[in-house]
Structure 1
Amino acid sequence: MKKLLVTLTPAEGKRLIAKGLLATNEVKQALKEGYLCVTLGSTSAYLVEEILGEYDKTRHIAGVTVPKGLAVTDGKMRFADAIFHKGKHLEGKKVIDVLDELGPNDVIIKSANALGNDYVPIVLLASKTAGTVGTFIGAAAARNITVIMPVGLEKSIPTSYNDFSAEFGMNDWDYTIGTPVGAISIPSAIAFTEIEALDMLFDVSAIPIAAGGVNGAEGAITFYISGDDKNIKEAYEFLLTIKGEPSFPHVKHVK
């Protein structure tokens, strides 16, 4: 048994998560034989980039958190969801356009805004009809469509959705600094963090032991990783390749 210590910035974590997602049987099968629907979100944008190569991640975002607070991007500047059918990118399509064709062997990827202390992903809603989640969540439950929610551990919160689920909707705020939102949890989805990515890629165990930093490491997570000698060595060599991942590109089209 060997031990590895590493600190990953949010961008490095997103890159790791994207590579881990591509290694899952669910995503590989959907990409090869069915539908892989990658909805808008900063973390999911890295997955699209891994598949397509060059990709403008700043246009794969709808809701966004910026220094002024919660915000949304200009709809005219957004890409549609990244929909793949048997490996082919169906440009301009959204998940709702192919929803009737989806089944248990297809996958919807939806980035989360938070990960509760019960490991259930949470999405903020700036749309009265619940945005992208509102278009597919019922169908996903009815037809057992696989929903995977990538979320960096930087988004871990010390509460669960049940602690605030009945407290507010997007029209209930008396004051807001930023875009007013509601929220929903998706307990039926698979939460996929850096922990799952490392396990999938290298069959190692990762435990977060610290968070935060300065000089560009704000939001970073420090991990204790353990596993067999060969697996830890491979993980170490891989992590060296993603260290230095640039921060998420500046998003200009914020409303």
Structure 2
Amino acid sequence: MNTKQFMITPASGKRLIAKALTNYIPVQEALESGTVVIIAGTTNGYIAEEILSGIGQIDGFSRKRFFRGIVLPPSQPRTENGRLPDDTEFPGDVVIVNGKWKKGLTIFDVADDLKEGDIILKGANSLDVNRKKAAIYIGHPQGGTILASLETVVGRRVRLILPVGLEKRVSTDLDELAMKLNSPGAQGPRLLPVVGEVFSEIEAISSLTGVKAEIVAAGGVAGAEGSIWLAVTGRDQELENAQKLIKSVSNEPAFSLLKE
């Protein structure tokens, strides 16, 4: 067993997670005979892009407005809850039923019909890497898309997968953070830790190549801001496959709000 190190930018990480989930057996099974709901979010935009391309239905999809809330630099226009001033181009979530994209639907339209074996993909805002636990910012007074999702998970055993990049890692216990942010008198978004299957760059590269990956360093400048360094351990062929995989996503451009 040997170890190599690789740098992954946030955009490359999103593409890597998307490629891995597209090839993830539970997702493939649900695409064939079930329902997959990809809830709008920037990372999930890459996932929707990969999945829709894989089933030959990419026409009409763009990830440029595939989100409800977004974090932007102070110089960019946005509202207090993270939304853009103009939401008219929001396309809805991506709902795929028995391999067919049902355009224009959202999680709220299909939640009552979801059943065991179906899958919801929902992004997250905070990640506890060691515990493999994630939490989601809540801006909506009724809890938004995650509460609609949790009804199906707890009530009917729908599978919840949480694609989240390692740049969102935090060091404090998520339950403690939630208690602080959700307390009366606190300001800003609330925080909801959720039970689901965390799927970061670590899980992505492991599922595609069989290696063991761990984050060992982070940071960068001039376009590498938010990057991570992964130490990847495996057999020679596994490491070669991991290197080819990471190289294939290494030139992924940074996310942009500009139209394609």
Do Structure 1 and Structure 2 share a fold, with TM-score over 0.5?
yes
Matched, 1:182 2:195: no
Matched, 1:90 2:109: no
SS in 2 for 1:72: coil
Q: Which moved more, 1:125-134 or 1:242-251?
A: 242-251
Q: Return the offset for 1:129.
A: 0.7
| Map of 2:125 onto structure 1 | 113
Are the counterparts in 2 of residues 126 and 170 from structure 1 also a CA contact under 8 Å?
no
Task: Quote the RMSD (CA, aligned, Å).
Answer: 1.8
Matched, 1:162 2:175: yes
Q: Which moved more, 1:103-112 or 1:20-29?
A: 20-29
Task: State the alpha-carbon separation in 2 of the partners of residues 251 and 30 from structure 1.
Answer: 32
Q: Which runs of 4+ in 1 moved over 6 A?
A: none
| Map of 1:221 onto structure 2 | 228
Task: State the alpha-carbon separation in 1 of the partners of residues 177 and 206 from structure 2.
Answer: 32
**Residues 58-87 of structure 1 deviation map (CA, whole Å, 9 limit, x = unaligned):** 211111111128611343221111000111
1:17-96 pair list within 5 angstroms: 17-53=17-53, 55-68=61-74, 71-73=82-84, 74-96=86-108
Structure 2 counterpart of 1:232, from 232, 239, 245: 239
Are the counterparts in 1 of residues 115 and 152 from structure 2 also a CA contact under 8 Å?
no
Letter of the 2:162 partner, please give it: M
Q: Return the offset for 1:209.
A: 0.5
| Map of 1:200 onto structure 2 | 207
Aligned residue pair count: 246
SS in 1 for 2:192: strand
Q: Extract unaligned runs of 5+ from structure 1.
A: 175-179
Q: Return the offset for 1:134.
A: 1.9
TM-score by length of 2: 0.89
Q: Which moved more, 1:121-130 or 1:155-164?
A: 155-164
Q: Which moved more, 1:117-126 or 1:143-152?
A: 117-126
SS in 2 for 1:96: helix
Q: Return the offset for 1:142.
A: 1.1
| Map of 1:177 onto structure 2 | none
Identity over aligned pairs, percent: 31
Task: State the alpha-carbon separation in 2 of the partners of residues 163 and 129 from structure 1.
Answer: 22
Matched, 1:136 2:149: yes
Matched, 1:100 2:124: no
Q: Return the offset for 1:228.
A: 1.4
Q: Return the offset for 1:138.
A: 2.0
Are the counterparts in 1 of residues 94 and 101 from structure 2 also a CA contact under 8 Å?
yes
SS in 1 for 2:82: strand
Are the counterparts in 1 of residues 65 and 257 from structure 2 also a CA contact under 8 Å?
no
Task: State the alpha-carbon separation in 1 of the partners of residues 173 and 102 from structure 2.
Answer: 36
Task: State the alpha-carbon separation in 1 of the partners of residues 150 and 88 from structure 2.
Answer: 25
| Map of 2:14 onto structure 1 | 14
Letter of the 1:239 partner, please give it: I
Are the counterparts in 2 of residues 57 and 249 from structure 1 also a CA contact under 8 Å?
no
Are the counterparts in 2 of residues 120 and 160 from structure 1 also a CA contact under 8 Å?
no
Are the counterparts in 2 of residues 83 and 90 from structure 1 also a CA contact under 8 Å?
yes
